A = this chain, B = another copy of it.
Amino acid sequence: MNYKDFERCAVNVTVGMIAGKWKPVILQHLEPGEMRFVALWRAIPRVSKKVLLEQLRQLEADGLVGRREHQTFPPEVGYCLTERGVSLIPVLQVIDRWAAQNLPDRVVYRPHEVSEVSN
């Protein structure tokens, strides 16, 4: 709790774990329960399959999400939050609340509402 502990870079490590472009959204979608890869992909438009996979792998490596491979054909893989992942949710909520109170001037959008505007 000592503020000096920030020097230990724990903040860096933690934000690094959720700093991926799609990671917060992934964690959100996984929060209600396990989800198949394709479902996750459909739920999060605008991500390439490769990147979605990468982010999942990283979340997995960081112990935030788990992967369950059902031995079926066609393949079926489920992703879900781990205990640690679940424990991170309140932290994300704190961040979200701070943003709501401090970033009223920002363009905050829902990813799936975004169409190909600029370029």
Q: Which positions in A face B, CB cutoff 8 Å?
A: 1, 3-16, 18-19, 21, 24-25, 27-28, 31, 84, 87-89, 91-103, 106, 108-112
Contacts and interface: CB of A to CB of B under 8 A. Distances in A.
Contact of A98 (B5, B14, B24, B96): B14
Tell me whether chain A's interface is mostly helix, strand or loop, or mixed.
Answer: helix
Contact of A9 (B14, B94, B101, B109): B109
20 contacts: A3-B93, A4-B28, A6-B25, A6-B28, A7-B111, A8-B110, A10-B99, A10-B100, A10-B103, A10-B108, A11-B18, A11-B96, A11-B99, A12-B21, A13-B103, A14-B99, A15-B19, A87-B101, A88-B98, A91-B98
